[in-house]
Structure 1
Amino acid sequence: MDPHQTYENPLITRYASAEMAGLWSSQRKFSTWRRLWVALARAERELGLDISEGQIEAMEARVEDIDFEAARRYEKKLRHDVMAHVHAFGDAAPEAKGIIHLGATSCYVTDNTDLILLRDALGKVRDLLVGSIDALAVFAERWKKEPCLGYTHFQPAQLVTIGKRATLWCQDLILDLTEVERRVADLRFLGVKGTTGTQASFLDLFDGDHARVEELDRRVAAEFAFDRVFPVTGQTYPRKLDSLVLSALTALGESAHRFGSDLRLLAHERELEEPFEADQVGSSAMAYKRNPMRAERMCSIARFLMAQQAAAGQTAATQWLERTLDDSAVRRMVLPQSFLAADALLTLYLNVVPGLVVRPSVVARHVARELPFMATEAILMAGVRAGGDRQDLHERIRIHSIAAADALKQGADQNDLLSRLQGDPAFSAVDLHATLAPRRFIGRCPKQVDAFLADEVEPIRRRYPGLMGQHQEVHV
């Protein structure tokens, strides 16, 4: 089929990395099924079942060599994907045909594979998060002393610094990293549980020997580096786990949307710009445009990601007794696409943050426009120390401030409050310019950045020493 005649998932073709796309590929999925069948047969042989080493070797030799067309033909006939691949594997390793999938139900391969993929995908998200945290920390360190106008309600407020603002974005990602690490630590294997979770088929195979069934569960889990299995299940692992995993990814989407939105606001103010390549076109009609398209893409993909958790939560809430199959189709879409979206967002972080462009002159102009208003309390105190009457000075400052604000609203280029006060005899003894040094108004911003980097970021850098200095390219 001509790929240009069918829908292409933009998460694959435009946004996510090839590595994350490969993790959720058919090759990775079905070769993992085969590795699970090999692990099951090996453990069953070691625990006394009549399975030969030659059968296991025959299976191992064909783990990666999958005839997808044969599997497709079998599924068309059988209407069952697991049995289709059992038959295709049996054709590839005929010596082992009779013992493949022995005692297992479909969820042995489907659910255990999903758990393996969830763990690997969470690991990739974790590593990209660490890189993004490091990138924002480097930016915060560089700009920790640079005063800029703070905003509340997107209205001018007290000064902060560019670096201090970046720690807010970074802190969001650290909270996300904590959740992702928790999800990785809490993952368990389904193991070998059977059709309703009772392990009855395996108990029959081992002639009622409970100890050998328990050991089979442990050995198969250990083969895939899981040290814990769910102690009780129905046929599937608890779909609650999917909901918890996606809640961590949703939280990442929230952080990315907030970061992208802030970049878009600051781009409008011309204080901060995302990277813009030499040949990049901002608008098809307006050649002068430099639109924040990466930040906009970040917000768009984040919106998609945040919507996925609802499907996972609804699926967890509607499982019937030991299982129902209405979880299957939705999970095939939601799980891979959520991780692809998370990967795309972190790729954007690692592309945008290292190339962020600060415009200090614009930042300083915005500070200068509002700073006289912020300095009025300092001016008042200086006037009192010079012998003035506090109440009289306060009233004069109030009148001059209102007049200066009105002038700005009517189009004045600069805040002339200082000039107005200089012309007022009541302030003749005050060094007004000394009250307007921007760094007088940034509070503890530089110290807060230093403490944040030392207490929050450095432990992460020590835990993941090989993940610093990452940079990613966006596809288009």
Structure 2
Amino acid sequence: MIDRYALPEMKGLWTPERKYASWVEVEVLASEAQVRLGVVPAEALPAIRDGEVPTPARVEEFERVRDHEILAFLAAYTETIADGHGRWVHHGMTSYDLVDTALGHTLAASCDLVLAEAVRLRAVLVARSKEHWDTVCVARTHGIHAEPTTFGQKLALHAFAVDRSITRLRAARTAVAVGTISGAVGTYSSIDPAVEAYVCDRLGLGVEPVPSQVVARDRHAELMAALALLGAVVEQIGLELRLLQRTEVREVEEPRTSEYQGSSAMPHKRNPTTSERINGLARLLRAYANAAYENVALWHERDLAHSPVERVVFPDAFTIAHYQAGKAADVIGNLTVHSGRMLANLEATHGLIYSSEVLLDLVNAGEDRDKAYRVVQAAALESTETGEHLADTLADRGITTTAAQFQPERFLGRRDVLRDRMEKLLDVEV
């Protein structure tokens, strides 16, 4: 886990202490089910419930000898269970009945935290989109000025991308929120399926329908892919903000404290470091997703190759996705928008961004489209070289234009259709 990017609530789900507490919870629930079935004596249950969650240090002591974390955990846990009742713990179970069932519960809780930040990000994007729906700016394709748009529409595009990510992540949560308590190779040879049903129901988990010894890892790959896609969507937001913060553009500025210092050498620097951080973290999420794909194919009923990978990628991916989505919401929520600079940039090319309207008006007036295109293109090239306004260059070529052809509003007359679609995001389930 990367402490720099781990927020407290997510970090708390992935500590060794939390893991062993979740393992104890599974063992206690399994014992309760076994008592109901008459397999474990009822008098053992209070002692099992009173057993202490072992410390990581104590588990490590046993593991140095046994070289098996689950057996080390069981030894450390059962030594605190009175009157020899510890012998009933883990009755009929195998290691990954414990590990994967507890893991499903932790993954579901982690998904909930990421979803909460993603929902917040969507809400912030919608709110700022409404605020700037009429803030006119230039759209760019291939990095080049294209036609007028609004900053609100830019933000709405990102809001819908986040919304799709939320849908994917909710589906992935359902996929991983499962457990299995089915014995050594998933045949329930030594344990009644009722134990599995009881434990998973109490933990809010589904059941792996046909288990091997583990929960199928395609579920976890789906989850990691959903996190990576959310990361890529947030990355796109960060990239847009970085591009708009360049000195020669300067249309927005990410929030900074009064004590901010951008460079150890250059006091004037105001760097888009938060947006850059958002972008960099997305690269890690994609790498973790690839590792999860590698974990899908296990030998026969299982092998252990996935285990060391998951010890790294699960806590890291969740802490990063949680941090990244939350940080993006903070940046968008407190973003400074320089609308005056947007208008200045809109006119920086001296009317070139209105060339499509001039072209269409010529075609509508009866001109051949290709001929009209070449005429307007040649005038645009000349204006680029001379700095003369496109309207004046066209006039020199005998083409009469009107002021209305060079107004942003001519491009934005139907934007209420888009706003209606965007505002519906406020009505979706949160």
Q: Which TM-score applies when normalising by structure 1? A: 0.83
Question: For 2:260, what is the secondary structure of its paired residue?
Answer: coil
Q: Of 140, 161, 169, which residue of structure 2 is paired with 1:180? A: 169
- Match of residue 441, structure 1, among 390, 411, 418: 411
Counterpart of 1:103 (choices 73, 80, 92) is 92
Q: Does 1:136 align with 2:116?
A: no
Q: Secondary structure of 1:151's match?
A: strand
3-state DSSP of counterpart to 2:87: coil
Q: Cα offset for 1:394? A: 8.0
SS of the aligned residue for 2:295 comes to helix
Structure 1 unaligned residues grouped into runs of 5+: 1-8, 203-212, 409-414, 465-476
2:202 corresponds in structure 1 to: 223
What residue in structure 2 maps to residue 459 of structure 1?
Answer: 427
Letter of the aligned partner of 1:344 in structure 2?
Answer: Y
Contact 2:382 2:393 in 1 (8 A): no
- 1:390: how far off? 5.5
> Are 1:69 and 2:57 matched, yes or no?
yes
> Equivalents in 2 of 1:389, 1:298: separation in Å?
51
| Deviation by residue 1:394-446 (Cα, 9 ceiling, x = unmatched) | 887555433211124xxxxxx5333445677763xx5x333322121235234
Matched, 1:346 2:325: yes
Mapped to 2, the partners of 1:399 and 1:27 lie a distance apart of 71
Question: Counterpart of 1:255?
Answer: 233
Superposition deviation, residue 68 in structure 1: 3.0
Deviation at 1:382, TM superposition (A): 7.2
Q: Distance in 2 between matches of 1:395 and 1:190?
A: 66
Matched, 1:151 2:140: yes
Which residue does 1:364 correspond to in 2?
A: 343
Matched-pair contact (CA < 8 Å) for 2:101–2:181: no
Shift of residue 452, structure 1, vs aligned partner: 2.1
Please tell me the root mean square deviation across aligned C-alpha atoms, in Å. Answer: 2.4
Q: Does the 8 A contact of 1:161 with 1:445 survive in 2?
A: no
Q: Contact 1:41–1:51 (CA<8 Å) still a contact in 2? A: no
Q: CA separation in 2, counterparts of 1:19 and 1:340?
A: 9
**1:316 pairs with 2:316:** no
Q: 1:371·1:436 contact (CA, 8 Å) conserved in 2?
A: no
Cα 1:155–1:384, aligned 2, differ >3 Å: closer, same or farther? closer
Q: Deviations over 1:100-125 (max 9, x none)?
A: 11111111211111111111111111
Contact 2:47 2:81 in 1 (8 A): yes
Whether 1:416 and 2:389 are equivalent positions in the alignment is yes
The residue type equivalent to 1:352 in the other structure is V
Letter in 2 for 1:74: F
Q: Is the 8 A contact 1:167 1:452 kept in 2?
A: yes
Are 2:18 and 1:24 aligned? Answer: no
Deviation at 1:198, TM superposition (A): 1.0
Which whole-Å deviations, capped at 9, do the CAs of 1:144-192 have from their partners, x for residues lacking one?
1222111111111122111111112111111110111111233453331
**How far apart in 2 are the matches of 1:381 and 1:179?**
41
CA distance in 2, matches of 1:393, 1:182: 51
Matches within 5 A, 1:274-285: 274-285=254-265
Deviation at 1:261, TM superposition (A): 1.1
Letter in 1 for 2:235: H
From 284, 287, 294, the counterpart of 1:307: 287
Q: Structure 1 residue 233: deviation in Å? A: 1.3
Look up the match of 1:82: 70
Q: Does 1:92 find its partner at 2:80?
A: yes
Paired-residue identity, %: 25
List per-residue Cα deviations over 1:34-64 (Å, max 9, x = no partner).
Answer: 01111111100011124224x322232345x
The structural deviation recorded for 1:239 is 1.2
* 1:190 paired to 2:163: no
Verify: 1:243 aligned to 2:221, yes or no: yes
Contact 1:145/1:445 (CA < 8 Å) preserved in 2?
Answer: no
TM-score (structure 2 length as normaliser): 0.92
